[in-house]
Chains A and B, each alone.
Chain A
Amino acid sequence: MLSKTVAELAGALTRKEVSARELTQAYLDRIHQLNPALNAYVTITAEQALAQADAADARRAQGNAGPLTGIPIAHKDIFCTRGVLTACGSHMLHNFIAPYDACVVERLEQAGAVMLGKTNMDEFAMGSSNETSWFGPVRNPWDQARVPGGSSGGSAAAVAASLCAMATGTDTGGSIRQPASFCGLTGLKPTYGRVSRWGMIAFASSLDQAGPLTRSAEDAALMMNAIAGTDQRDSTCLELPFEDFTAQLNQPLNGLRIGLPREHFTKDLNPAVQAILQEAIRQLEILGATFKEVTLPNNYLSVPAYYVIAPAEASANLSRFDGVRFGYRCANPANLDDLYKRSRGEGFGDEVKRRIMVGTYALSAGYYDAYYIKAQKIRRLIKQDFDLAFNDVDLILGPTSPHTAFKLGEKVSDPVTMYLEDIYTIAVNLAGLPGMSLPAGMLNGLPIGMQLVGPSLSESRLLNVAHQFQKSTDWHTQRPEV
C-alpha cells in the first residue's frame, strides 16, 4: 500500500479501502522504522499529521475531497512551515521556526495533503549529494552506501523508500531531477515563475523553482495542479490562468518531434547509460515519436556560468543570516564584527561559505564585468540555443546525470567534480525552462533517469510524454528493498 502512487492511493481513499488516518499512521510507523538509517527526515510532525489526516477524512466524508486530500507528503526543509522547524539543512537555522507557511506548503495543505515532516537536504540547497547537510548525509534507499543525490536528497529518499507518497523539492541547478534519477523517481522542475517562491528559502533567486518528486508522471501532474499558479507575494511568479496538468496525459505521441542534443551524447557519457537512453528512445519511437539531432553549442558553458550567477545571488541572499534577528548566534560576541564573523563562521558549513566567497568575489568591483556580466551573456546564449532547437523539435531528451548514484564520500572533497554532476541539468535552470527526470532503466541494481526538456510552459506536454512512456514501461514501478 505505502509504495502505491498518489493516483492509486486517492482511489483507495475514495473507495474507503483505507482512511487518511490509517495511511498516515502507516507511513509514520515506517518512518520510525527506517528513518534512523536513511536520515531522510529531519523533522517528523506526527501529531500534526494525524490531525490533518482526520481533517482530510472528514472532508472526504463531506464529499469535497480533491485527489490530494489525505495523501501523506513530505516537504523539503527549505519550505517555511508555520510553527515547525525550518532549518534548510543548516546549523544557521537550527532554531528557526517560521510564523508562516510557504506558498507551496499552504496550497498543498489547502488541497488536503497531510504533512508528515520535513526532509533533509544539502545546506541551503547547495550540493548534489545531500552530504553538505548539517543534519548529516541521507542514504540512498537503493544502496545505503550511496548518496540519494541532492540537494532534494531527503525528499527523493523518502519517496523512494515509501516514507511518504509524494514530496516537494526545489531545483536551482538540478536539485529535483538528479535525485529523481538517483532514486528512480519522477521529478519535475517547472518553468521559472510557474510556482511561487514565497516562503521558500532563497538560494539563487533567478534560478530557484519548486516542483514535485513523485512515483509517476501522473502524480507529478496532480501535485502541479495544487502548487502552480499566480501568487501576488512573488513578483516573479507568472500570471497565468489555471491549467489542469492532467488534461493532456493521455494524448497519443504521434507526430511528437524529439531532439537529441549532440553535446549530450558524447564519449563522456557512460556507455551503459547511453544504451539505456537508446532503449528509451526506441520505446518512444514505438509510441509515435520521431527523433532528430539538435545542437546546444553553448551548453558546455552552463556549469561555469551557473557557478558565477548562483553564488553571486546566494552571497546576497544569505546576508540576512547574520545572528542579529533569528537563527544561530555565536556565544558572547565581543562586538558587532565579532558577532557577524563568528555567527556566520560557525553557523554556515564549508560549501555554503565557499559559494558565498565565490559570489562575493564575482560581484566585487573590478571583477563584476569579467564574471557576473559575462555569465549573464552566456546565460542569454544558452537560452537562445534552446529557442533555436525548439524551432525544430517539440522537446529535448537526454541524460539527467552522467551515471547512477555514487558512493558517499566519493566526491565530497572535490567541489569541481561535484559541480560537474549537474552538467546536463543546469542549462535548463539558466534558460528558465521546464525539465523533468523520469526512470529510464536500471544499471547494476541502481535506477537511472532520463531528462526531458521543453519550451517555456510546456509542462503538460512533458508530463504527457512521461506518462505515455510510463504506461508502456515499468521502470518507474521498481521499488528498492529497504
Chain B
Amino acid sequence: MSWETVIGLEVHVQLATNSKLFSGSATAFGAEPNTQASIYDLALPGTLPVMNEEVLRMAVSFGLAVDAEIGKRSVFDRKNYFYPDLPKGYQITQLEFPTVGRGSLKIQLEDGSEKTIGITRAHIEEDAGKSLHEDFQGMSGIDLNRAGTPLLEIVSDPDLRNAKEAVAYLKKLHSIILYLGISDGNMSQGSMRCDANVSVRKKGATEFGTRTEIKNVNSFKFVEKAINYEVQRQIELIEDGGRVVQETRLYDSDKDETRSMRSKEVANDYRYFPEPDLLPVIIDEEYIAAVRATLPELPAARCARFVSEYALSIYDADVLTSDRAMADFFEAVVTLCGDAKLSANWVTVDLLGLLNRSDLSISESPIKPEQLGTMIARIKDNTISGKLAKTVFEALADGETDVDQIIESRGLKQVTDSGAIEKLVDDVIAANPDQVAQYRAGKDAVFGFFVGQAMKISKGKANPAQLNELLRNKLKAD
C-alpha cells in the first residue's frame, strides 16, 4: 500500500533581545541560575508586565520577510497551567489575534523545483524557566533565567510531505531568522526549537490521519531522523491493524526512536482568556513601513540577484545565500577578484569542504575573504595555476596569511616563458617515443599523458594553456 506523509512544524524561535518580553531582566545564555530573574519574573504579587517594543519590531520584521499579514491589533492571552518553572501559573501568549498572520515561504526540492509552504501564523509568547532534577538530593531546582524570554512561535501549514522537505523548510526559516538578526538560531542551546506534527494517510486520501506531535527536536539531523522514525512507526502500526493515538512523543536521539510523553486525550485545558494586564497592540501602516525599511536583502531576493548579476547556477546561488555570512563572504571575494564563477567554486567546494571537515561556521573560517579574493586574483592574472592554488589554499587553511608570500616562498609561480615551456615539451616528446607513436596513430587519449609528464617535470608550474598549445603543435608537426 502506498502512504503519504503530512507534516506541520511549530518552530519556537528565541528572539535576540537584550531584555525579556515583559521585564527588564537580561536574556544572556548560560548565566548562574536565577541571576537573571526580576521580581516580575518571579511573579511576586502586584508586579505587572510591560511589553518590550523590540520584540514587536522583530516579530513584524519576520512577518514581512515571509510576506505575512501583520495583525493590526494583536492581543495577548493567558494560557493557564501549573508547573514550577512557570511562576505566574500562566504563560502570556497570543491565541486568537497573533502579531503575524498568514504568510508563506519557498523551499527548493531535491529535483531542483520549488515548493511553497504556507505559514499559518507566528505569535509572540514568553518562555518558561527550567526545572533541574539533578544535584538536589531528590528535590528539584528551578532556574528562572529563561522565564519570560521572548519567543516567536512559527506555525506552518501541514504542507510538508517528507522529512527532507521539513528540513528544507526549517533551514529556510533558520536562514531568514539569521538574515533578520532576530535570533542567534542556535538549536543546540535551544534558541530554535522544533515540534513536528506528523501523520500518514493513504495516497489520494483527502482527510488527514491522526497526528502525533514530536517535541523539542534540537538539530536539523534529528528532525529528519525523528520524522522518518515516526512515519515508519505509524505506517507499521496501521498496517498491523492498529490505530495512531493523538499524543505528544519525545525523540530520543541516542536510541533513534520516538516514545509517548503524554496523551493529548487527557491533556490540560489551558483556559485561555485575554490578558487584562496588557492592552491590545495596535500596529499601523506607518509602523509597518518603518520596519520594512530596515529589512535587509533576504535570501530569496539575494539568490535571484546572484543568478542574474553573477550568472551563477540556481543551485550555487542558493547554497551561497542560505547563510547571510556566507553570501557576504562570497560577495567580498568577488569584489576583490572580479570573477564570480571562480569565486563561487572556491567558496562552495573548497571553502565549504574545509569548514565542514573542521566543523566551523563561515564566521569562524580560518581563511578570510581578502585572502581568498587575492588568491583567485592570482589565478586570474596567471601568477599561479588553478591547480597550484590548492597549495596556496591549504597554506591559508593552516594559518598562513599572505597569499603572495606563500606563492613566493614555495615557488609556485607559473612558468609562462614560452622558451622554457618549449624545452619542456621537447624533452617530454624525446623521452617517450612509444607514446608519441600511439598519439600519431590516432590515439588522442594519450595527450593527457604528455600533459601529466610535463607538469610533473615542471612541478605543476607550467602554464596549462601554453603547454597544451605547444604540445599539440609539436606532436602534430613532427
A108 within 8 A of B: no
Taking a contact as CB atoms under 8 Å apart, the answer to whether B42 and A100 are in contact is: no
Which of B83-91, B222-230, B333-341 forms part of the interface with chain A? B83-91
Closest Cβ of chain A: how far from B192's Cβ, in Å? 29
Residues of A within 8 A of B39 (CB): 99-100
Cβ of A322 < 8 Å from any Cβ of B? yes
Report whether B90 and A319 are in contact in the complex, using a CB–CB cutoff of 8 Å: yes
A170 to B55 alpha-carbon distance, docked (Å):
33
B285 at interface by CB-CB < 8 Å: no
Rounded to whole Å, the gap between the CB of A325 and the closest CB of chain B is 6
Interface size on B, residues (CB 8 A): 28
> SS class of chain B's interface: helix, strand, loop or mixed?
loop
Instruction: Say yes or no: A80 contacts B46, CB within 8 Å.
Output: yes
Contacts of A199 in B (CB 8 A): 46-47
Q: A197 at interface (Cβ–Cβ under 8 A)?
A: yes
Select A319's contact among B47, B51, B82, B272, beta carbons within 8 Å. B82
B43 at the interface (CB under 8 A from A): yes
Contact with B along A130-155 (1 / 0, CB 8 A): 00000000000000000000000000
Complex Cα–Cα for A325 and B41 (A):
11
Interface contact B46-A98, CB-CB below 8 Å:
yes
B-contact 0/1 string along A89-109, CB 8 Å cutoff: 000010010111010000000
Q: Tell yes or no: B109 within 8 A of A by CB.
A: no
Q: From residue A366, how far is it (CB to closest CB) to chain B in Å?
A: 9
CA distance A234 to B277 in the complex (A): 8
A315 to B142, CA, bound (A): 23
**A416 contacts the other chain (Cβ, under 8 Å)?**
no
Residue A110, interface by CB 8 Å? no
Closest to B84 in A: A324
Q: How far is the CA of A336 from the CA of B82 in the complex (A)?
A: 10
Asked whether A325 and B42 contact (CB < 8 A) given A235-B279, A316-B90, A320-B87, the answer is yes
A65 to B312, CA, bound (A): 77
Do A88 and B45 have beta carbons less than 8 Å apart?
Answer: yes
Q: What class of interface size applies to chain A in its complex with B?
A: 35 or more
A198 adjacent to B46 (CB under 8 Å): yes
CB distance from A159 to the nearest CB of B (A): 23
Complex-state Cα separation, A88 to B45, whole angstroms:
10
CB proximity of A88 to chain B, nearest CB, Å: 7
Task: Given A98-B44, A201-B45, A319-B80, check contact A235 B89 (CB 8 Å).
Answer: no
**0/1 string, A326-360, CB within 8 A of B gives 1:** 10000000001000100000000000000000001
B49 interfacial by beta-carbon distance below 8 Å? yes
Say whether, besides A235-B277, A319-B82, A363 and B47 are in contact (CB < 8 Å). no
4 further A-B contacts with Cβ under 8 Å, apart from A233-B50, A316-B271, are: A98-B45, A201-B45, A235-B279, A336-B84
For the complex of A and B, list the 3 residue pairs with the smallest distance between their C-beta atoms, beginning with the closest: A319-B89, A363-B271, A205-B276
* 10 pairs, A vs B, C-beta closer than 8 Å: A99-B39, A202-B46, A235-B51, A316-B78, A316-B89, A320-B43, A320-B89, A325-B42, A336-B84, A365-B271
Interface residue ranges, A against B (CB under 8 Å):
79-80, 86, 88, 93, 96, 98-100, 102, 197-202, 204-206, 232-236, 312-313, 315-316, 318-322, 324-326, 336, 340, 360, 363-365, 368, 372
